[in-house]
Structure 1
Amino acid sequence: MAKKSWLLAVLVICSVSALGQGFTLHVEPIQDSIYATDPGSRGVFDLFIRNNLPYEDRFQIRIGDDTRWTVEFRPDSHLIRFPVGPGQTSTTRMLVRPTTSNLAYGQYNLSLTVRSDNSSQEKSAGLLIFLKDPGILIDRTYLPSLVIDVDSPQQMDPRDSRIMTVSVENRNPLNISDLVISVSSSVNSLIDNSINTTLGPLEKKRVTFKIAYKDTQEPVQDIIKINVEIPSKNKKFDTLMRSVEVIGYSELKETSLPSKSFLMSYDRREYFNDGNIRRSERVRVPTTLFSQFFTSAEPEARSMKENGQRYLYWNLELAPQEKAKIIITTNYRPLFWSVVLIAAIIIIYLVFRSPITVRKASREVKTTKEQQQEGLSDIKIILHVKNRTNNVVEDVSVIDKVPSIIDPQKEITAGTLHPTKIIKHQKKGILLKWELDSLEPFEERIITYDIVSKLKIIGPILMPSAYVRFKNRFSRHSRVYSNKLYVGGVIK
């Protein structure tokens, strides 16, 4: 029991000790002397509060009831309760100025109290400020002194916009009511802007500028100048310069407008270099070996084959923002009309061709000794007459002529089919005629006869064409002729 009581006492002592060190307080004067007659002159103090607890605590700052002084907090949120994390330190800047000009010159002590919400502990401190004689002019005592810093992008895509931040800090308790910050670009008129602002004593301020370029801005190393001046003090600070690289970009945009008509297709393509640099690009369109023969393009295309696929391709050279147009035409109409024409010719030929064909041939027959002694030549003439249709052809007559060199008395001998007429003419020769009632579908007749020349033949003799006269499908008589034939030769 005594041991437990001892442990409880130790815990109570430790808790009291921890509460006693819950937070620490420290005041650091930045500007502790001011001029009474200068409305912009302010005392500046930094208040540091450290939370020593292992958990977050909230604090409240209270200023004494001396109404002759007013205190501003930076940040403003510290006017009310504000949190401080475990083991962290919070900084509050306090700007002190008198509320009346009737204060006596000398030193004043403004009391402040900091209270912890968790422990309800309070700690106090004093702000010692000295009110100086106004006989000394402020402008002669404090010259404008600024710390200027610039945060700017190093690279930019001209299609985007970025923010440049200019930070200025007043290093003196001087109220600056006409601070002018301006930026300008060496290549871009869009970046030419200035901002008029104010800067209180020991105040730090950030001013932002929008950095933007035209989309068509060429790649360039731009120099942006930052100028800061105080016109009322005739003070210009050194120009700051920042380098911004405008990068190049290029995007090839393709649009296609296909259309079709009877056995024709059109593909109107447009390629646009949406960029600020020149672009070289090979564009291609799939095709086939068959359609390639019926395809034309403007401008003229080349062909290639890759991985078994055929393409039409063009090598484009496009300046920034330049367009190229390609028109591809595939026309199957010539092929169609060629097929139609050939089909029409075939149909017309089949419709109007002669249903009968006749071919004339010859074969020499061995002559006797008597014929050889007399210089005679025996030749067999063969006529092939054929119905090449599946229709019956009626009223068929076959007529052939034999030159007058043939003796009309003895030198002609009919074959198996005898002629119905043999007409002899002294000059025109002999006319042979065979009459057939009809020819059945696909029927072929062979007519032969022998001729014997009555003179020695030196060189071939031209046998005229035989012809067949028949009644066609329109019940009209038509003729079809055979080939001409050379027979005989030199006989010694």
Structure 2
Amino acid sequence: MRIYFILLLILLSAPALALNVDYSYKAKVDSIYNNETAIYAFKFINANNNTERIQFYTISGYWDLTPTLILMEAFSTKNVNLEIVTYEKDLYGPQLVPVTIKLLNNEDSVVENLYVYIKSSNDTPKQYVPNVYMEVSMPTEIDPRKSTSIEVYLRNRNPLNMKDLTVSITSELFNKDFKTQLSGLEEKSNQILFVDLDTAQAPATYDVNVKLIYENKTISQVEKQIIIKNYADVTVEQTKTKGLFSTTEKISLYNEGNYQVMKTVNLERNWFQRIFTKASVRPEIIRDQGKFFMSWTIPLTPRLESEIVVKTNYTILALIIAIIIISIILYFLLRSPVILYKKAKIISGSEEGVSDIKIRLHIKNRSGQTIRNIKIIDKYPKIVQLEEESALGSLKPIKMLSADKLNSLLTWTLESLDPYEERLLVYKVKSTLNIVGNITLPLAKVKFHTPAGDRTSYSDKVKLLHKSHHSLKEK
């Protein structure tokens, strides 16, 4: 039997000899009874530009060949099953069939000794124990975003034909079973492609177990390890929504990688903008090239989204400005168009007291419209008397009445005051007795008519200090 294996390997590895046509062959059926047919598969390649006629024959009288002649067109390939039968009933055991392959165009020929084993009718088929060599080739590191493949090489170590082989690949990363078959002493490679890897698979080292199963038994097993690479792929999406006095910016961060990374996001904001800005995540203020930024460093977990919401709201500022503007407008709309100032001065007195006082009433139209029907009313204490003489050019009062027990009343009238016109009313009072201490003069008032109706405006009270001879206003 050892000689049989050596002989068989020599025959299967025999090279094509020198012919003008390339060919190769392998045994399909080489173990037969003497009433059966052995089959060898030939492949011919005619690389010439002429048609070739190829003849098969044997010089042995024990064998018969079919076919005996084939025709090959120029530049063609042809597969031929050469059938070998014997008519010798006493022939059994290992045999070599001398087959001559001849090119009839140029008479070139070669002889191939084809192995055929003729089984005796008394032989019982030999049972072989499955014996398959398996080798697994795969990358040591893979990127889970890309497909990967595993190559499984199988070599049948005996003539047993195995038609129902299962290659089972199991791992935490992938699992796959596929069917194959092996003829006696055949070897083959299978490429298994994996395209559905989990792109979020954590980087680590994983075991891969490859089993070859025949008739529900594991006949070969290979264990490998594969490393998942780490990668980071962070996407940042920024959206801005504007309101009337506010701006909301939403920064969405998504880690499409397979491990946690730190991502820094900067948003430019000067000191004034930061007063009115709030963020959902507290930022760090940094300065870069003279500019100020709100900065966040966010840990991003794989396949999870993080969000930062930044809102700059100028509503309060707008309200304050609006209130100021409205106040200014209302002030100019509602303020009195006529203002009245009252001032007094001691013009005569001694350390024993005050005797003479000069009083001035200053009236001004500060509007752009003419004011009509103006009446000025002022009071002075009854402890003093009004001097008849007044300042040169000053308007004299039209009425002098007693207002109450303490004060006397003076009244002036003006027909109109042109826009921005000013008038000065001056009068003096004198006391027959020296007045000791401080003197407070009542406020004066002016009445006038506007398109909106009659209005009144008042002056301030005046307080005189005897010793300083100065006048002070009391609000």
**Secondary structure in 1 aligned to 2:185?**
coil
Which one of 99, 110, 124 corresponds to residue 98 of structure 2? 110
The CA distance in 2 between the partners of 1:199 and 1:373, in whole Å, is: 140
Structure 1 stretch displaced more, 245-254 or 123-132 = 123-132
Give yes or no for contact 2:356–2:428 (8 Å, CA) kept in 1: yes
Matched with 2:202 is: 218
Matched with 1:151 is: 137
Matched with 2:112 is: 126
Does 1:480 find its partner at 2:468?
Answer: no
**Secondary structure in 1 aligned to 2:303?**
coil
The CA distance in 2 between the partners of 1:70 and 1:311, in whole Å, is: 90
| AA partner of residue 197 (structure 1) | T
- In the alignment, structure 2 segments of 5+ residues that lack a partner are 1-16, 470-475
Structure 1 residues 275, 80: CA separation in 2 closer, same or farther (over 3 Å shift)?
farther
Residues 59-110 of structure 1: CA distance to partner in whole angstroms, max 9, x if unpaired? 9795625785679xxxxxxx987799xxxxxxx9999885579762263423
Which one of 264, 279, 289 corresponds to residue 282 of structure 1? 264
Which one of 387, 398, 404 corresponds to residue 376 of structure 2? 398
- In the alignment, structure 1 segments of 5+ residues that lack a partner are 1-20, 72-78, 85-91
The CA distance in 2 between the partners of 1:388 and 1:228, in whole Å, is: 109
Deviation at 1:44, TM superposition (A): 8.7
The CA distance in 1 between the partners of 2:368 and 2:323, in whole Å, is: 26
Equivalent residues in 2 for 1:33-432, closer than 5 Å: 35-37=31-33, 62=54, 64-65=56-57, 68=64, 98=84, 104-105=91-92, 107-113=95-101, 115=103, 120=106, 122-129=108-115, 131-134=117-120, 139=126, 143-185=129-171, 187-188=172-173, 191-211=174-194, 212-231=196-215, 236-237=219-220, 239-286=221-268, 292-307=274-289, 310-365=292-347, 367=348, 372=350, 375-404=353-382, 406-408=383-385, 414-416=390-392, 417=394, 418-424=396-402, 427-432=405-410
Give yes or no for contact 2:35–2:86 (8 Å, CA) kept in 1: no
Aligned identity (percent) is: 24
Deviation at 1:57, TM superposition (A): 9.0
Structure 1 residues 28, 295: CA separation in 2 closer, same or farther (over 3 Å shift)?
closer
Deviation at 1:322, TM superposition (A): 1.0
Matched with 1:444 is: 422
The CA distance in 2 between the partners of 1:25 and 1:269, in whole Å, is: 72
What TM-score, normalized by structure 1, do the two folds share?
A: 0.73
The CA distance in 2 between the partners of 1:248 and 1:392, in whole Å, is: 86
Structure 1 residues 320, 102: CA separation in 2 closer, same or farther (over 3 Å shift)?
farther
Does 1:465 find its partner at 2:443?
Answer: yes
Structure 1 residues 198, 339: CA separation in 2 closer, same or farther (over 3 Å shift)?
same
The CA distance in 2 between the partners of 1:38 and 1:350, in whole Å, is: 130
The CA distance in 1 between the partners of 2:257 and 2:291, in whole Å, is: 31
The CA distance in 2 between the partners of 1:200 and 1:437, in whole Å, is: 132
Residues 162-209 of structure 1: CA distance to partner in whole angstroms, max 9, x if unpaired? 221111122433322232221111x23xx2222232211232222232
What TM-score, normalized by structure 2, do the two folds share?
A: 0.75
| AA partner of residue 183 (structure 2) | G
The CA distance in 2 between the partners of 1:425 and 1:48, in whole Å, is: 144
Give yes or no for contact 1:35–1:133 (8 Å, CA) kept in 2: yes
The CA distance in 1 between the partners of 2:50 and 2:362, in whole Å, is: 128
**Secondary structure in 1 aligned to 2:419?**
coil
Deviation at 1:112, TM superposition (A): 3.6
**Secondary structure in 1 aligned to 2:184?**
coil
Residues 381-436 of structure 1: CA distance to partner in whole angstroms, max 9, x if unpaired? 222211111222122222221123x42266x8633323222334673222222222
**Secondary structure in 2 aligned to 1:364?**
strand
The CA distance in 2 between the partners of 1:201 and 1:341, in whole Å, is: 100
Give yes or no for contact 1:27–1:45 (8 Å, CA) kept in 2: no
The CA distance in 1 between the partners of 2:37 and 2:157, in whole Å, is: 13
Structure 1 residues 246, 137: CA separation in 2 closer, same or farther (over 3 Å shift)?
farther
| AA partner of residue 437 (structure 1) | E
Deviation at 1:244, TM superposition (A): 1.4
The CA distance in 1 between the partners of 2:456 and 2:150, in whole Å, is: 103
| AA partner of residue 203 (structure 1) | E
**Secondary structure in 1 aligned to 2:233?**
strand
Structure 1 residues 114, 280: CA separation in 2 closer, same or farther (over 3 Å shift)?
farther
Give yes or no for contact 2:397–2:410 (8 Å, CA) kept in 1: yes
Give yes or no for contact 1:175–1:201 (8 Å, CA) kept in 2: yes
| AA partner of residue 460 (structure 2) | N
The CA distance in 1 between the partners of 2:256 and 2:351, in whole Å, is: 103
The CA distance in 2 between the partners of 1:154 and 1:42, in whole Å, is: 46
Matched with 2:14 is: none
Structure 1 residues 390, 25: CA separation in 2 closer, same or farther (over 3 Å shift)?
closer
Structure 1 residues 321, 235: CA separation in 2 closer, same or farther (over 3 Å shift)?
closer
| AA partner of residue 233 (structure 2) | E
Give yes or no for contact 1:158–1:247 (8 Å, CA) kept in 2: yes
Q: Which has the higher helix share?
A: 1
The CA distance in 2 between the partners of 1:435 and 1:243, in whole Å, is: 112
The CA distance in 1 between the partners of 2:228 and 2:40, in whole Å, is: 44
Structure 1 residues 306, 42: CA separation in 2 closer, same or farther (over 3 Å shift)?
farther
Deviation at 1:360, TM superposition (A): 1.9
The CA distance in 1 between the partners of 2:218 and 2:303, in whole Å, is: 46
**Secondary structure in 2 aligned to 1:250?**
coil
Structure 1 residues 438, 334: CA separation in 2 closer, same or farther (over 3 Å shift)?
same
Superposition RMSD in Å: 4.5
Give yes or no for contact 1:389–1:441 (8 Å, CA) kept in 2: yes
Structure 1 residues 395, 268: CA separation in 2 closer, same or farther (over 3 Å shift)?
same
Matched with 2:10 is: none
| AA partner of residue 462 (structure 2) | L
Deviation at 1:303, TM superposition (A): 4.7
The CA distance in 1 between the partners of 2:53 and 2:292, in whole Å, is: 82
Give yes or no for contact 2:32–2:38 (8 Å, CA) kept in 1: no
The CA distance in 2 between the partners of 1:148 and 1:39, in whole Å, is: 37
The CA distance in 2 between the partners of 1:39 and 1:347, in whole Å, is: 124
Structure 1 residues 360, 70: CA separation in 2 closer, same or farther (over 3 Å shift)?
farther
